[in-house]
Structure 1
Amino acid sequence: MTKLSVNINKFATLRNSRGGNNPNVLKAALDAERFGADGVTVHPRPDERHIRYQDVREIKEAITTEFNIEGNPQEQKFVDLVLEVRPDQVTLVPDALGQITSNHGWDTIKNRDYLVEIIAVFKNAGIRTSIFVDPDIKMVEGAKATGTDRIELYTEGYAKHFHDNKEAAIRPFITAAKAANAAGLGINAGHDLDLQNLKYFAQNIPGLLEVSIGHALVCDAIYLGYENAVQMYKRQLQ
């Protein structure tokens, strides 16, 4: 079954909006694990506007499930944190400084030499690597040459067009997934997946190993309860 990694950034956003420690981000990570999530994801940014670097350190020490850290490796502070914490997986995202959320994947052809170099740094430390890519067969094939273990398909385009024509929306992702399978790359996915579109995506993407979901799951948790939301997302993947 495809694994569910809960991105807890939004808990940190809420905490930071008021100061103090409510909600408790470490507890949010532990609760995700306790409620059945297969992993916890965080995406620290240099300004620490949501997840703080100290949060990352504390979470790594506390959880027993898989830990995934996302971020832009062109920020040395991020690289140093990952090498210090040594999560199970690092997901490399080409975010610009101050960017609200991720909005595109790597150009794996243009950035090949850089990605080869930085991926080797993490793999030499025993950390599984994944890189954010758009559902473009050329970018997937380019990812193979970087030495990455996995790709994470950027799914905003699928989510945006799901209700208009779900067959057309998922078609490029199926093609990209088949290319990844042929190249021997593991497949993760994330961005704007929710209770409406997740099941169809998981059923149609061959070899889908993991989805990382934060914003939609936390929004649903407000109405449904955190434990119930995690379990509902897990059921979409069965």
Structure 2
Amino acid sequence: MPSTEAPIGAQQFVPPDAHELAELKAAAAHCEGCELYRDATQTVFGRGAADARIVFVGEQPGDVEDQQGLPFVGPAGRLLRDAVDDAGLDASDVYITNAVKHFRFELRGKRRIHQSPGPAHITACRPWLVSEFALLKPDMIIVLGATAAKALLGPSFRVTRSRGQLMPWPAAAHHPEDFPVTETQALATIHPSAVLRADDRDAAYKGLVDDLKVAAAALS
């Protein structure tokens, strides 16, 4: 049965004076801001360059990520790396994270089946994203899929309708008051896992790459 208790949120676990991403990652390992920490193997925090110009935000870690403790190391992550290369983005200039840092799943036999995070999980985990952005100050935020879009761009945002379009940040943010004013831009596209599930995978992959090319052109 899913928990009915209201998450306390991550804010009390976020170090207020963190100066490095490593400090945030160490603190996040002990986060109990929502009930997902109870069943997940570990917190899966972001990874990548501390001075990254590009931040990718996905949904949540999957089964492989939960076991390894790193985001986007499963099949979707490999596909994303290919798409980054094919779009002409510099992989060394990337930081990648998720809107929710713990794996939400249901057990079917011995298999752990992915479940999308709910609004309460997104809200509870939001302080980690805010803290990551505050340290990174990227030039481009690339939002991957519907859950990340709800977390950052609001519940009414539809990736299928507005994908591949540059948006000013933080003006486009769901809670712009959480973010310092910068010249950052944002762009939403499909999650790479949607490419893996697509009936026409080639067409879906091309669409993802085309969206990322918009970001690459804006950064060049």
Is the pair's TM-score, using the shorter chain for normalization, greater than 0.5?
Answer: no
TM-score (structure 2 length as normaliser): 0.30
